[in-house]
Amino acid sequence: MNLFITFFTHPLVLIGAGGALGSNLRYGIGHLLSQVAIPIPIPIATTAINILGSLILGCVAGSTADRTQSTYLLLGVGLCGGFTTFSSFSLELVEQIQSGKIGLALVECVLNVAFGVAAVYLGLMLCQHKS
């Protein structure tokens, strides 16, 4: 295998390329949706991105048997990770539910949402610029 192929199939390169694409897609879709006047009181761009990212990750995970394959690393870890980490959170919850660990899934859901929101609030309180 030559150096070119070895480099471009390395997991870090695949994840980085997918992450860059996912981050740019997130920005582009978020910007596009922010231009549309939708009279609902929730941040539609974030919600749409989280749902779309979860759908994409579900498709990638469902069609990839081995999560160390280049396709999964590029699209599942990289693209979806750069696009939204909510998709990974959603996949983990579904996998726990499918394996009968409903209580653990509920605990993970509550911990992630409650402590995630609390951590953002704490970060804002600790680091918010006072003018």
Q: What is the average pLDDT across 79-103?
A: 91
DSSP state of 9: T
b/e code 86-113 from CB counts within 10 Å (16+ = b): bbbbbbebeebeeeeeeeebeeeeeeee
Residue 77 maps to a domain? yes
Q: What is the tally of structural domains in the chain? A: 1
What amino acid is encoded at 19 in this protein? G
Residues 46 and 64: their CA atoms lie apart, in Å, by: 26
Question: 131: pLDDT confidence band, cut at 50, 70 and 90?
Answer: low
Residue 54 maps to a domain? yes
Residue 102 maps to a domain? no
Residue 33 maps to a domain? yes
Residue 121 maps to a domain? no
Instruction: Provide the residue range defining the domain that includes 72.
Output: 3-83
The pTM is what?
0.77
| The pLDDT of residue 106 | 92
| The pLDDT of residue 28 | 94
DSSP letter string over 51-116? Answer: HHHHHHHHHHHHH-S-TTSHHIIIIIIIIHHHH-THHHHHHHHHHHHHTT-HHHHHHHHHIIIIIH
Residue 96 maps to a domain? no
Residue 56 maps to a domain? yes
